[in-house]
Amino acid sequence: MMLVNEDEFQARVMKDHIYPRHINSNSPVSWSAKLTHIGGRRIISEIDLVVVEGRERAFAYEFKFLRGKDVSYNYKRIYQGLGQALLYFWYGFDQSILVVGVSENLGSSKREKIKAKIIQAFPTIDQMEKGMPYFGVMAFFEEKDKLKTYRCSFPKGNFPVRTSSMQKDREAILAGNVRTNGKPFLRRYGLVLSNI
């Protein structure tokens, strides 16, 4: 069944790619979807997914599912997602990952243009990842009701938290002192993490 929206895309990637990555951690793992507050303070932009391993590591994921009819609109969504994923370091996350999906519903001409743009962007992203080993990108193309992985580059390092406000937010995230709008989303897609 073809994906209808960004929530369905996020749920599929969480089940198939993100859950397996974190479940083998030796620490308890928790995740929060649609994060809106950290330490009682409303954040600038909702964080699509936060994964915490034990009380040591925090990961932020930003999802963009490209399905708009206008190619330039889809390009803007990629850049918007990149900006949001980089903003998450401001909150003291160890790693941030941008996850982009391209809908099968776009039609072949638009899909090819977007695919070309994504391919064109990867040499720059590769350079960014060398300089920022705590940033990663995942890209998928929906084909015949399946997500075909184009790229999965998970970060290898941790962001160096440098300011006291970053450290304060980081501590709140690790302690679970956050608020979300994600409980209905997690319930709707049966996304319950089992090793907690």
Domain positions in the chain are 6-188
pLDDT of 193 reads 62
Residue 139: which of 70, 189, 74, 57 has the closest Cα? 74
Q: Each residue of 75-123: pLDDT tens digit?
A: 788 889 989 999 999 999 999 999 999 888 877 788 888 888 777 777 7
3-state secondary structure of 115: helix
In this model, does residue 19 exceed pLDDT 70? Answer: yes
* Type of residue numbered 180: T
- CB-based contact 131:124 (threshold 8 Å): no
Dig out the tokens for 157 from the structure: 């390092």
At residue 25 the predicted structure's pLDDT band, cuts being 50, 70 and 90, is: confident
Q: Each residue of 30-78: pLDDT tens digit?
A: 889 999 999 999 999 899 999 999 889 999 999 999 886 777 777 788 8
In this model, does residue 28 exceed pLDDT 50? Answer: yes
Contacts of 185-188 with C-beta under 8 Å, sequence gap 24+, read: 185/7, 185/10, 185/11, 185/33, 185/34, 186/33, 188/7, 188/11
Query: To the nearest whole number, what is the mean pLDDT of the chain?
Result: 88
At residue 178 the predicted structure's pLDDT band, cuts being 50, 70 and 90, is: very high
